[in-house]
Amino acid sequence: MSLLVRGDRVALVSPAGPASASKVGAGVAVLRSWGLEVTTPVVEAWSLPYLAGSDEARAAEFVSAWCSDVAAVVCVRGGYGCLRMTDLVPWKDLPPRVFVGSSDVTVLHAELNAVGQATVFGPMPGTSDFVDDPVAQARLRALLFEGVSSWTAGTPVVAGTARGVLTGGNAALLAAAVGGPRWAPPVDGAIALLEDVGEEPYRLDRILTQLVRAGWFEPVSGIVLGSWTGCGDVASVLHDRLAGLGVPVLGEFGFGHCAGQWSLPLGVEAVLDASAGTLTLV
């Protein structure tokens, strides 16, 4: 993954839900304080208020921003909608870019990783998880500008080590894509990153069971669990659904919908040591 430098141009896009103008303005101010030139997205009025425009408009904005003279494309927020536009983007034709997003943007990470582009699962500048969290800001900036290559956090659920390409993101979005025309399991030996927000334990059970029965975990050599904010007490569900898969599992790793979240790359190779609580790029 390429690093950013001061003076680089960054395009903000809205592939999912609309973000408030005040949040986007505050996020842009932070990005500009890093020395970046920032262009903001155009959000059209649309009959479905939870979308930042029609599928065609959001896909066109995404492609136009990506193919412009920018070093990075950054999603302003998640919400819902990315899954609706994946078949409208010519993924194989997109030039290399730094890409940042999380939550609903999980499906866009999967598409980009599938064509060989590394991406960043991190906080988005049109959300409180970025604007109101200086620690999360600093961790994203460090990854984008300095190239962080190792993290130590979490607690072991199943001890052991694994080496593979980092994949995954939001568990509900991964399950939603299962069985669709563009669905594909992880590459052999992949290390899966999983997190979610606002899912009751029984719903999380359903999400993980769907992924298990679809064979999504079969190629996976290790699992790293992030935050489960607003999901209640999910420890027993996670252990029940994942501990028996026969791979190392590291829990409470601190990425996703949580304070001070780590920004982590996807589509790159890493070594997981669940016993030591480390994730290291190779």
* Catalytic sites, residue numbers: 103, 195, 257
Phi, psi of 46 (to 5 degrees): -145, 150
Q: Quick one: which H or E segment has residue 227? A: strand 222-229
Burial zone of 91 (CB within 10 Å; 0-12 exposed, 13-18 middle, 19+ buried): middle
Sign of CA dihedral 206, 207, 212, 213: positive
* Structure tokens that stand for 108 in this block: 């866009």
Task: Using the CB atoms, write b or e for 208-232: b if 16+ within 10 Å.
Answer: bebbeebebbeebbbbbbbbbeebe
Distance CA 55, CA 83 (A): 10
Phi, psi of 266 (to 5 degrees): -120, 155
Sign of CA dihedral 118, 88, 42, 53: negative
Distance CA 189, CA 45 (A): 44
Contact 274, 249 (CB under 8 A): yes
- DSSP notation for 78-147: -SS-HHHHGGGS-GGGPPP-EEEE-GGGHHHHHHHHHTT--EEE---TTSHHHHT-HHHHHHHHHHHHH-
